[in-house]
Amino acid sequence: MAASNFFLLAAFIVLVATQAMASDPSPLQDYLFRYDLCMFLNIVRVNGFPCKDAKDVFVDDFFLAANLDKPMDTTKSKAGSNVTLINVMKLAGLNTLGISMARIDYAPKGQNPPHTHPRATEILTVLEGSLYVGFVTSNQANGENKLFTKSLKKGDVFVFPQGHIHFQFNPRYDKPAVAIAALSSQNPGAITIANAVFGSHPPI
């Protein structure tokens, strides 16, 4: 009986640990979420988005005229940047696929200030200009948080691990910069550190 309880406990721990480490689950179908499985499970939404019968899926579920080839306005941001995110809220076909993307425009001396994506790793490439980028590790055993930084030029690629505080900064006084980022979640989320800590409601 004790051995049986031990194996049950071990199985439970493995299951919980596996779920705790999970990000977006791997899809079990080609796209969206199978209507027949929704009916079998007696649910109408997956990840907060409606189930859709295959006969009601059209090409425009996978298409968005996003104008990502055009410069975006950076003047309305105090940070001098503009993030145009394409996630499941804008493109229904992303549901259950575990991916999204963003175009980021930086004014001269503009920045995408320190922030995290709680549900996604980010890979970024510079399309125009140059960027100074970096991320900070989680709390280490020695009490340190190590900073990794790199100066990027056009065509360079950099990865920001999931959940880590990271940033991008355009060091040029005279030229804007543009980057494209891919993220490993259909809805990566973003927490801007300064806003969250000093602008919470009610205050911390």
117 is in an annotated binding site: yes
164 is in an annotated binding site: no
122 is in an annotated binding site: yes
Euclidean distance between CA atoms 113 and 156, whole angstroms: 20
Euclidean distance between CA atoms 56 and 33, whole angstroms: 12
The dihedral sign for the CA sequence 190, 192, 196, 201: negative
The dihedral sign for the CA sequence 66, 71, 76, 82: positive
Euclidean distance between CA atoms 185 and 54, whole angstroms: 23
115 is in an annotated binding site: yes
Please tell me what DSSP assigns to residue 34: B
C-alpha distances (whole Å) from 150 to each of 61, 137, 154, 160, 187 are 38, 15, 13, 12, 27
Residues of the binding site:
112, 115, 117, 122, 166
Residues of the binding site for oxalate:
112, 117, 122
Residues of the binding site for Mn(2+):
115, 117, 122, 166
